[in-house]
Each structure stands twice: as C-alpha cells, then as structure tokens.
A and B are shown apart, each in its own frame.
Chain A
C-alpha cells in the first residue's frame, strides 16, 4: 500500500511539473558533471526546465526504443558517433530543423538527413614517453606494428567504444584485410593485457611499463590540470604525437545530440541544441573538459593549444557506427581482450 501511495505521489508530481512550465527532457550519455552546468545556464537564460537522466548510451537507446511513442525524451546526448548512428538506424530519431547555428557546422559533423549533429570533438592520438622515445622515429599508427615496438604499446580493452570506433574508422579507410593486419600487429606488440582506462595507459607510459599509449586528449589534459601533484607529474612525462599527419590524419570522434522521434517538447529541444552550439557553450566544453569545440572559430584552452594543431581523418562519421560490429569481431579474432 505504502508503495502504491508513493508511486501515486511520484506520478502526480511528474504530471504536475509537466503542466507547469516549458521544459525539455534529456537522455544523456554525457556524465552529469560534464553537462549539468551548461543546462543550468540554459534554464537561467530561457526559463525552460531541463529534466535529465544520465546513463550508458546503449541503455538509453534501449529505453527510448521500449518506451515507443510515449517516451518523454526529447533529446539523446551521446559521447560517440556510433551511438547516434545506432539510434537513427533503429528509427528513434527525426530530422533537426536547420537553424543558423547548425548551418555553420562542417558537413562531416552532421547526419545526411539531419537526424544528429556533433557538439564537441575528441581526438585519439598516440602519446609517447618523453624520456625514452625519439619523436622523430614515429609518425603513423602503422609504425606501432613494426617489431621495434614489440612489448612497448599500451591501450585499453577492446570493449571500449573509443577503440571500437577507431578500428571501425580504419576499416572504412584501409579495408577489412589491412585493418585486420594492423589490429593483429598491435596486439602482438602489447606491453601487457589491456586493463584500466585511458588515464591508466598514460600512467603506464609515465612509469616505464610501456613507451607509447593511445588515448583521448582530454584525459591527458584532465591529468595535467589535476589537484594531485603525482598525477600532474605523470602526465608531464608523455608527449602527444599526432599520427598520420602526412596522410589520412588523426582519428577523431564527436560527442553529439539526436532529436527523439516522439519528442513532446520539440521547440524547447531545438532551443537547447542551439544553446549547446552557442559560443558560450562551446567555450565551456573547451575549457572545462578540454574537448575540442566543434565550431572552428572558438578559442581552445591553453592546454589544448599546448598539444598543437593537427589534421583530422575525413571518414564520414556515420560509417563508424555502421562498422562497429565488424570492428569488435576483428578485435576478437586478434585476441585483443
């Protein structure tokens, strides 16, 4: 009985809030700490309440799907393009009407039918030991499979989406067999079985366990700006190498947003998308979490500047989602844990 009363209470509060003010409902795979401050600003500026549920992208997609046309969600935020593609593929999204802010986006960061778009950019370069690696000897990710790097490479598990997208991008650009060869070669050169997150790979290079790691730049930036002295010192022992600058460019991914097919608050949702693309928000991404802004005219944080500029891969981002399963199978075959 207690429970029923309690549920009724929850429902009535939910219903009453829905009648009260203009609002927008967000399913976000971006962690609360990395999105909430922006949402609070949005509410201050517009008076629109933002309701937030965070979680893993795939779970949120499953939730969206099972709720069907009664889903309260307006927007889906993800930290990787593969998941945006997956939501679109399952018919859970609709086209976002193009505002001036959206029109300013480079084509590669927007879905062809306009179902999703990027909000920030992440790069996944190589990071080498300052003491032990001559930076002249390494220029491309292909170098990592040569015998001289045997037992010197650190990278996290293949269960991680960033690695899956990276391999998917390789398949898209080099074809299945060349990509498989690279994956096999990389696994051969692992210093240890994959474990931990991106920061752990950087720490392992700093400690001398391996000489090169592949990791996202904002992890390194986060370590460099950590309160903890040890973490800072570890981060200072590695240097970013932008791979394949003379060729196809460095692997990138986006964090982005899709508009839910059954969005009950479409207008408010579009306002929020515009807000997330505004200079103010883009600057926040670049300074708080050290992600690259998706718009070219936004200043980078000093830390990002210190890593230098780079040429990016030009592979259509939608393909990364398409080739995700193929990438996982490839890594399974290579014995990449």
Chain B
C-alpha cells in the first residue's frame, strides 16, 4: 500500500503533465546548456585575454544598477500612492504604470536623439554660450550609467505594482498595534511595513534585473560590451555558435544565482488571505507643503519614462506619418495585438497549471523543473529563439520524412514555419512573469481551503476553478496583462521566427531604427505604446479595487 502511495505521489497525471510541459518549454533553454559539453578552448582563451572581463563586469553592473534604481523608484512611488491621499492621486496611479508600455530600446533611441552631443539640447547650450566641444561637461547618455537609467525608467513599474499591492494589503490593525505600543511612524515603516513588503519588492527587482541581463536592444545601441552583445559578436563575428551558447549558459547561471538569492529572502515569510474583510489602512490626507511635494515626486519618473519620450516621438511622427501610415500599418497593429493576446492566454494557462501542480505535489523535482522553465525570462530572446528553431526544425524534418515515407507527401514546416514557434518561445520566455504573479496569488490562499473543498468532494481542477481563480482574480489578470505588454514589445525572437509575410509593430520600428531612420520609426513605436497603454489602464483599475484581504504573519 505504501508503495502504491509512493508510486502515485510520483506518477500521478499532474506530475506527468507538468514534467512534459516543462520539458517542451525548457528544451530551447536546455539546448543552451548542452553546449557546455563541447569545449572551445581556443576561442575561450581569446575571449578570456580580451573581452570576457568586460562582459562580466558590465552585465553585473547593469543588472545591479537597475535593481537598485527600480527598488528606489518603485518603492517610494508605491508608498506614496498606497498610503497618501492627495490631489491628482487617481490620475497618477495609472500614469505611473505607463512607462511599462515603452520598449527600452525605443526610450534609448529617443533620449539619444535628445541628449546626444549633436542633439538639440547640447546644440542649444553651445549656441547660447558660444561653447565648443571640450569646453563644458555633459554626461554621455550612451554609457553604462545611461543604460542603467534607461532600463530603470521603463522597469520600475514591476517593483511599484508588487510593492503597492503589498503595502495596501497590510491590515490597519498592524498600525494600530504599533501605535498602541508607542512606536513612531518611521520606526513602524522600517520595522513592520518594509519587512512585510520585502518579498514583493525583491521579486519585482528580480524581474527587472532579469530583463536587464537579457536586454540587447539598448546595450547594442549604446555600444556597451555586455554578455548579450558578446553572445552575438562571438556567434556571428567569430562564427562560433557553440562558444556563443556557452556565454549564454554563463549568463543564465548568473540569473540562477540571483533567483536563489531572491528565493532565500522570501522563504522566511509567508502570510495568507483569509478571504474575509478587515479594515484597510486609511490613506492619510496630505496638506500644506507635502500636498505639493508628493504629487510632484510621483510625476518625475512618469515624465522622464513616458511623457518626454512620447513628445519626442510625436514630433518625429508628425514629420513622417504620411509615409508610414499605409493600409498595411493597420495590419501590423492587428498582428501585434492578436499575437500578444494568444501568447498571454497560453502563458497564463500554463502558469496556472504549473503553480497549482507545485501546490498539489510540493516535491523537489517539480519545484526544480518549474524553476528551470522560469529561467527562460533571463535568457536573451535570440538565444531561446534559435534554440526553438533548431529543435522545432528537427521535429519538422522528422515529421516530413515520416509522411513522405507513409503517404508520399511532405507537409511542410508545421511547427518551425508557423506562429506555433513564436507562441512556444513567448511562453518559454514570459512564463516567469506569469508564474511570479500567480505564485504570489496562490501562496496567499490558505492550504486549509484546499483541504476543506477537497473534503467536500471537489476534484483538484474544480478547486482551482471554483476557489482559487476567483480568489486571485487580480493576480491572474495582472499576469495576463503583463505578458501581453511584454510580447507586444518583444523583438529578437519575433524577428527570427516569424513566418512569411508576417510583421509586427516592434519589427517595423526596429527595422527603421536600425537603419538609422529614427524619425520613420516613431510612428510604429508610438503605436506599440498606444496598444500597450490599454492593458496598463485596465491593470490600474484592477489594483485600485479593494480586494478581499486579511493576513496573518507566521
């Protein structure tokens, strides 16, 4: 009997389906690691003696710089919005999320156009003061600090969203207790509020750092030597794909370390929803000087992360829209939209299954498997795309050989030559985003609820549908919207895997920009931002709904 139980705990349908799903999704990432078994001594000696230290140092500085900045910006904003009541707060809370709709490479283009030595600002300075080159100091936008700022401006919403939910979910009773014990508000903030919100804040920072590790568009445009630019240089310039994959594996190992750190910091705290209502913290009404400073502070990141670049884009687009706005443009818009929608739904369904499977079978192998799939987020899109291309083409070739032998027809490239390939790569890349959200939601549902509903005769899937999903509606929806926006902006994989005659806004914007036609790229870039804004607004509406809460700290 014991044996049968043991067997079932390992080989139940949940476990098997999760394992299969993980293997399919992890195949592209896995291929990267297979490369480690083919040593490339000569190339590595060259890399080691010339550029490798640059790659490592710059990538780490970039990721940790971004991590630090997004925590700073995101936490401060979240605190202001969650705890204070002031004029314009309603508008600000969705404005703050807008930079999410802005692809990092596009913000990099616009700021370079504005701040470059040859750009309008510096030219104005020189003309006003009759300066020459070398007469004055002006920070160079195309530098590592520049890249850190660019990425932070569009990534801080990850921290903001998670931190804000964490802040507003803390019940008022905590504050009352602190006050009754005579603890000052600032001490309460550092001793109670921030420690409770820490897992959420760090999770947001980890997501942003993974993005920073995998970013290619910005670093390439700024001419920085990081892992991602190095991967391409090694692969295409030196013509060595295996060494390039090894670099990618090295990059991914950095991220594994990052995630382990994040996991360790999260492990100590767990708290659950009860599903009953308690008092929420009342927002403090601001008056006097503070009533001016707080909204002003909140507007700054929105201004730099969204308004200013959009104004620049609008200016460019006004010059070029007649050339760019053709009937085909609407098709691009539609392509981008439905591709992102399908990918978001797929990723969220997968994330639900994985997260729930982990909950049903809290055994190590499953956790490790799901963890591996989560790594996809940190692997540069191009690397995953190539991995998917190789594995799917192999599948297609096998399939075609089979049908030729049996039916004397070749069916063509069913997997690698269709949108299937793209959806697979998006799922593989952005599952982490969906998982983070859904995991957080699910982990707050008390295990006793599962037990209760199971004892009432519900099957696991019914429990998920009837109990969990309604309880974590916000998490599911924000997962959907986040993946949607991410796919909308996604560039490298789309570029590599798309079928014939299929383009998206991101591809169009990139093609024009990489041809150094920034002005022509403005219209598609603006369209990406506009389509991306819709889910962002929806997200805000969701976040502002008083959700059912109550928590207890163990």
The residues of A with any CB-CB pair to B shorter than 8 Å are 2-3, 6-7, 10-11, 14-15, 18, 25, 31-34, 51-56, 58-59, 62-63, 66-72, 86, 156-159, 161, 164, 192-200, 203-204, 206-209, 219, 222, 226-228, 230, 234, 324-325, 328-329, 332-333, 335, 337
Binary CB contact string for chain B from 398 to 435 against chain A (1 if under 8 A, 0 otherwise): 00100000000011111011111001000000000000
Q: Are A70 and B397 in contact, with the CB atoms below 8 A?
A: yes
> A337 touching B225 by the CB < 8 A rule?
yes
User: B260 to chain A: closest CB distance in Å?
Assistant: 32
Contact: A159 with B519, CB < 8 Å?
no
Query: Is A59 in contact with B414, judged by CB distance below 8 angstroms?
Result: no
A-B contact pairs, 11 of them (CB 8 A): A56-B495, A59-B495, A62-B241, A67-B416, A159-B233, A196-B142, A200-B112, A204-B118, A207-B118, A207-B133, A227-B319
Interface status of B13 (Cβ within 8 A of chain A): no
Nearest 6 A/B pairs, CB to CB: A203-B118, A195-B223, A51-B500, A328-B237, A66-B393, A207-B118
Q: In the complex the two chains form, is B225's CB within 8 Å of A58's CB? A: no
In the bound complex, do residue A328 and residue B238 qualify as a contact, i.e. CB atoms below 8 Å apart?
A: yes
Determine which of B225, B239, B414, B512 lies in contact with A325 in the assembled complex, contact meaning CB atoms within 8 Å: B239
Interface residue? B221 (CB, 8 A): yes
B142 A199 Cβ-Cβ under 8 A: no
Q: Is B286 an interface residue (CB 8 A)?
A: no
B498 an interface residue at 8 Å Cβ cutoff? yes
A68 touches B417 (CB 8 A): no
**B319/A228 in contact, CB under 8 A:** yes
Cβ of B176 within 8 Å of any chain A Cβ, yes or no, is: no
B14 at interface (Cβ–Cβ under 8 A)?
no
Q: How far is the CA of A192 from the CA of B413 in the complex (A)?
A: 47
Taking CB atoms and an 8 Å cut-off, the chain B residues in 128-158 that contact chain A are 132-133, 140, 142
Contacts A14-B418, A33-B515, A227-B319 supplied; 16 other A-B pairs, CB < 8 Å: A18-B412, A32-B508, A54-B511, A58-B236, A59-B382, A67-B393, A68-B397, A69-B397, A72-B413, A157-B223, A164-B237, A196-B223, A203-B118, A207-B133, A328-B237, A329-B238
Q: Which of B225-273 contact A (CB under 8 A)?
A: 225, 229, 232-233, 235-241
B117–A209 touching, CB < 8 Å: yes
Whether B393 lies near A51 (C-beta < 8 A) is no
Q: A227, B320: Cβ atoms under 8 Å?
A: yes
Q: Are A53 and B516 also in contact (CB < 8 A) when A11-B412, A70-B397, A159-B233 are?
A: no
Asked if residues A72 and B500 are in contact (CB atoms below 8 Å), the reply is yes
Measured in the bound complex, the distance between the Cα atoms of B140 and A193 in whole Å is: 11
In the bound complex, CA of A7 to CA of B392 (Å): 14
CA distance A11 to B501 in the complex (A): 14
Interface of B is mostly: helix
Contact assessment for B117 and A32 in the assembled complex, using a CB-CB cutoff below 8 Å: no
Q: Report the nearest B residue to A89, measured CB to CB.
A: B239
> Closest CB-CB distance, B150 to chain A, in whole Å?
13
State whether A53 touches B498 (Cβ < 8 A): yes
Q: List the B residue with the shortest CB-CB distance to A49.
A: B501
Interface size on B, residues (CB 8 A): 73
Q: Are A194 and B237 in contact (CB under 8 A)?
A: no
Contacts of B498 in A (CB 8 A): 53
Q: How far is the CA of A234 from the CA of B113 in the complex (A)?
A: 14
Contact residues in A for B508 (Cβ distance below 8 Å): 32
A228 to B516, CA, bound (A): 14
Does B237 lie within 8 Å of A324, measured CB to CB? yes
**Residues of B contacting A69 with CB < 8 Å?**
397
- Complex: how many Å from CA A335 to CA B53? 12
- Residue from A54, A70, A328 having most chain B Cβ neighbours under 10 A: A70
Complex-state Cα separation, A31 to B50, whole angstroms:
33
**Would B499 and A206 count as touching, CB distance under 8 A?**
no
User: In the complex the two chains form, what is the Cα distance from A71 to B416 in whole Å?
Assistant: 10
Residues of B within 8 A of A156 (CB): 223
Which residues in chain B, 483-505, are within 8 Å of chain A measured between CB atoms? 495-496, 498-503
Q: Does B386 contact A (CB under 8 A)?
A: yes
| Residue B123 CB within 8 A of the other chain | yes
Closest to B423 in A: A3
Residues of B within 8 A of A195 (CB): 142, 222-223
Least Cβ–Cβ distance between A329 and chain B, in angstroms: 6
Kindly state the separation between the CA atoms of A10 and B514 in the bound complex, as whole angstroms: 30
A264 to B501, CA, bound (A): 18
- Docked Cα-Cα span, A56 to B345, in Å, equals 29
Residues in chain A near residue B221, CB distance under 8 A = 196
A33 touches B118 (CB 8 A): no
Chain A residues with CB under 8 Å of B117's CB are: 203-204, 207, 209
B450 at the A interface (CB under 8 A): no
Q: How distant is B337 from chain A, measured CB to nearest CB, in Å?
A: 14
Decide yes or no whether B116 CB sits under 8 A from chain A. yes
Report the separation of the CA atoms of residues A335 and B54 in the bound assembly, to the nearest whole angstrom. 11
- B346 contacts the other chain (CB 8 A): yes
The answer to whether A15 and B239 touch across the interface, beta carbons within 8 angstroms, is no
